[in-house]
Amino acid sequence: MQDLDLDARKYVWMGSIPLQVHLHESEVTTVPAPPPLLVLAPRNGYLPLLTPVIKPHFQSSLPPGTDTVWFDYKGLPLKWYIPTGVLFDLLCAEPERPWNIVVHFRGYPADILSPCEGEDSVKWSFINSLKEASFIMNGSTRNVMNMSKPDQMELWRCVAKGDMDGYNRISARLRPGPVVEDGASGTNLGKGLSHRRNYAESDGLETSRTGRIPLRLYLRHLKEVRDDLADALPVECWDEITYINKAVEIPKDEGSIFTLGAALASVLPELFPNHFSGEESKRSANSSSKCTKSVLEDEKKRRGSAVTSQVEGENALISSNQVDSVMVLHGSNSAQTSTDQDNTLKPSEEVPKASLRTETEIVRVQGIEPSLDLPLYWVAQNLVAPEHFLHICIFTLNVGR
């Protein structure tokens, strides 16, 4: 089974999004216009890292000026610090292959996107996320802060190049393992499911897995969906997306398995009522701070403003409950903190009609729609992103009462 888990992680690392990249018509200076570029984008990669491949294709058609590369999908500027696979899963309700996006080299929308100075900005955004995940899992960022400069550069090189073996060698030194077995410090992300394929019948060793799992949830409300998800209206602005950072703890409860559904129910009980179970989940929900309560209320009413909190670094004093419910500003160029205001993804202003209620339509992780009965520790070990966050896209839909 360990080999199967390794295969699962390899599939995630090898996963790519087929892109068809078009140069924006306002920047075309040649006749005929350059043809679109077909390129495979790694799921765990970032769009700015494709610039060395994309720019030469369109270089001869660009107008004079300084290049400031950015991308859009159906008019929506794409946030460069969100992994490409997450952007695709979130913005394409019905997967579009190839994914048609537009590249710009002029007119950077600084009022929407935080500044991106190429690969260096993406690298520090990644390191910052790695620190946040380390703090959630270990209560400290010391293991990341103490990385040598060569190790830090090699870790980023492996992420940028999709080198899973090299990444595993460097990442093992961080000892960030979110899963603890029999009270020991969790250092091996390679241990997976029980040999039994029926998760409900896993043995005691497997159910003793505990730990804190860093989640990043992206909530999108589907508007005017008829019979086909392809008919869903596109996201017009990032205010329509609710963005939640959440630390979920796997309780040590012999005889039961803490599932992906239970984890989501502990964060958003109104969207996952059938998976809300156990006193541990109740305590987790009841201990949520005003930040999470505000998010739940906003999801219910589809209006309001996002609440944000900053994760400062090694000297941050964050209580256990605060870490559980923190929403962070992500994507700063600083290796220490995240401070860019544009990175706050706010709830939609739309208010559903009184005759309707909101239900969960889709849950996506790494391009798949997993069973919510999967053990959370398995999902965290096999579908996690390189910065050790589990990115989950959740689509909601209005239905009759």
Report the pLDDT value the prediction gives residue 4, as an integer from 0 to 100: 57
Residue range 165-179, pLDDT digits in tens: 999 999 887 755 544
The pLDDT of residue 207 is above 50: no
| Per-residue pLDDT tens digits for 91-127 | 999 999 999 999 999 999 999 999 999 999 999 999 9
Mean pLDDT (the chain) is: 76
pTM score: 0.76
CATH, range 17-112: 3.10.20.620
64 or 5: which carries more pLDDT confidence? 64
Residue 231's pLDDT band (cuts 50, 70, 90): confident
Residue 336 — very low, low, confident or very high, per pLDDT cuts 50/70/90?
Answer: very low
214 in Cβ contact with 133 (< 8 Å): yes
Whether residue 316 is predicted with pLDDT greater than 90 in this model: the reply is no
225 pLDDT tier (thresholds 50, 70, 90)? confident
Residues of the chain with CATH 3.10.20.620: 17-112
pLDDT at 46 over 80: yes
Is the previous residue joined to 251 through a cis bond, with omega within 30 degrees of 0? no
**What pLDDT sits at residue 254?**
59
Mean pLDDT, residues 276-289: 42
- Percent composition of the chain: helix, strand, coil (DSSP 3-state, to 5): 35, 20, 45
Q: Which two tokens stand for residue 368?
A: 């798949």
For residue 145, which amino acid is it? Answer: M
Q: Three-state SS across 88-107?
A: HHHHCCCCCCCEEEEEECCC
